[in-house]
Amino acid sequence: MAARRSRYLHLHMWLLFTFLYLPIVVLVVLSFNASGLPTSWGGFSLEWYRDLLSNEDLLASIKNSLIVAGYVTAISTVLGTFLAIGLQRTVRSRVLDSVLFLPAVIPDIVLAIGLLSFFNLLRFTLGIHTIVIAHVVFDMIFVAAIVRTRLGYFDRRIEEAAADLGANPVKTFLLVTLPAIMPGVVAGALVAFTLSIDEFVIAFFNSGPGSITFPIRVYSMIRFGVTPVINAVAAIVMVVSLLTMLIALRLTRPKGERSANLGVGA
């Protein structure tokens, strides 16, 4: 019985990955297409990658996106985790609970324009920092929601036991709570990074001339058709993001036996 179930799941995974990667494969293949448009194959060519390397605007926008996403992920993971823990323990009101999660559900154009007006009122200059601020607003809520899912099952008595044994709150948090919720935190960080790297509307309205991010640049370029250069960029952004994530995961991997925590329940 278990084997049959697992075969079905296996099949499902394969189909799912096909669905997920079909457009990616198309995209990557087309980035090597010598012909300019996606409807005809003109032979294998690396010229678009060469074009890309000399396209300063594009490269700058990728760099900006990664910088923004980096800051946003770091800040919103921290704030979001704290929010989740804090909410779990202190807030009893259901209404307050729902209201706090509003930034994640509001239409992005509203947030975009609202923040722009606000920044203008405060005479902030627009730049990378304003995009980061804007992205954190909704990203930290996503992190909080995900971490909370994990927290929901966390048995507080372990914390109390640690306190009884003389650990101060900070130690309790670092050595007891955090490892137990780490899968949730990691999942939250992944989501935060994903949401920030590709976000267009808020970034456009809250960016200055020198902080054009990748989605903004792509959105403009795409008006002239999806040239293979765009596909090449997408492929590269994907690879770079993957490498960044892998490095980050390696760095945050808890030492020694705690690496098992990522997989097995505590």
Partner 1 sequence: MAVVSVAGLVLAACGSDDGGGSPPAASDGAAEPADISGTTLTISNWDAYMPKSVVKGFEQETGVEVEYAIHTTNEDIMGKITAANGTGFDLVFVSGPFVQALTNLGWAAEIDQSQIPNLSNLDPEATELAFDPGNTHSVPYTWGTTGICYRDDLVGDAPTSWEAFRTPSPQTDGKMTMLGTDRWLLQPALLSLGYSINTTDPAQIEEAKAWTMSAKENLLAFDDTTFYSKLVSGEASLVQAWDGWCEYGRAEDPKNIDFVIPDEGSDLWTDTMVVLEASENKAAAYAFIDYILRPEIGKSIVEFTLYKMPNAGVMAAVDPAIIADFPTLAITPTELFEQEAQTDLGEDGTILWTETATEIKA
Partner 2 sequence: MTGVAAPARRARGRVWGPRAVLLGPGVAWWVAFFLIPVGVLIAYSFFRRGPYGGVIYEPTLKNYARAFDSLYIGVLWTSVRIASIATAVSLLLAYPAALFITRAPARWRVPLLVLVILPFWTSFLIRTYAWIVLLNPAGLINKMLIGGGVIDEPLPLLYNEFAVTLGLVYAYLPLMVLPIYASLERLGPQPSEAAADLYATPSQVLRKITIPLTLPGIVAGCIFVFVPSLGNFIVPDLLGGGQTVMIGNVIQQQFLQARDWPFGAVLAMSVIALMVVVLAVQAQVHRRTQEVEHGRAA
Q: Does 107 interact with partner 2 (rule: CB under 8 A)?
A: yes
Among residues 52, 131, 140, 212, the one that binds partner 2 under rule CB under 8 A: 140
Give which of 27, 208, 54 is closest to 128, Cα–Cα.
208
The verdict on 70 binding partner 1 (CB under 8 A) reads no
Candidate residues 41, 47, 57, 106; the one interacting with partner 2 per rule CB under 8 A: 106
Residues 118-137 close enough to bind partner 1 by CB under 8 A = 119-120, 126
Does 117 engage in binding with partner 1 (CB under 8 A)?
yes
What sign results for the dihedral spanned by CA atoms 219, 221, 226, 230? negative
Nearer to partner 1, 23 or 86 (CB): 23
SS3 category, 10:
helix
Q: How far apart are CA 48 and CA 68, in angstroms?
A: 26
Half-sphere CA count of 201, side-chain side, radius 13 A: 10
Residue numbers 204-243 binding partner 2 by CB under 8 A = 214-215, 218-219, 222, 226, 230-231, 233-235, 237-238, 241-242
Positive or negative: CA dihedral 196, 197, 199, 205: positive
Q: How many residues line the site for partner 1 (CB under 8 A)?
A: 28
33 versus 76: smaller Cβ distance to partner 1: 33
- Between the CA of residue 143 and those of 7, 137, 240, what are the distances in Å? 33, 11, 23
Instruction: Give yes or no for residue 58 binding partner 2 (CB under 8 A).
Output: no
190 counts as binding partner 2 under rule CB under 8 A = yes
In the complex, what is the shortest distance from the CB of residue 68 to partner 1, in angstroms, rounded to a whole number?
Answer: 16
Task: Kindly state the smallest distance separating residue 123's Cβ from partner 1, in Å.
Answer: 9
Judged by CB under 8 A, does residue 216 bind partner 1? yes
Q: Does 224 bind partner 1 (CB under 8 A)?
A: yes
> Which of these, 42, 60, 40, 58, lies nearest to 50 by C-alpha position?
58
Give the integer Cα–Cα distance in Å for 138 and 79: 11
